[in-house]
Structure 1
Amino acid sequence: MPTPAQQERQQLRQILRARRRSLSKAQQQQAAWQLAQQLRQQTWFIQAKSLVVYLANDGELSPEPLARMAAALHKKVYLPVLHPFQPRLLWFVRWIPGQTPLVKNRFGILEPRLKGYGLDRSRQIQPWAVDRVLLPLVGFDRQGGRLGMGGGFYDRTFDVSKSRPRRPLLIGLAHNCQEVADLPQAAWDVPLNGIATPKGFLATGRN
Structure 2
Amino acid sequence: MKVGLTGGIATGKSTVSEWFRQKGAAVVDADQVARRVVEPGTEGSRQVRERFGDGVFRATGELDRKALREWVFRDATARRDLNQLLHPLIIRQMKAEIQEAQEEAPDRPVILDVPLLIEERLTHLADTVVLVYIPEELQLKRLMEREGISEEEAGRMIKAQMPIEEKKKFADVLIDNSGTRADTEGQVDALWETLLSKSGSNRL
TM-score of the aligned structures, taking structure 2 as reference length: 0.32
Larger radius of gyration: 2
| Structure-1-length-normalised TM-score | 0.31
Of Structure 1 and Structure 2, which has the larger fraction of its residues in strand? 1
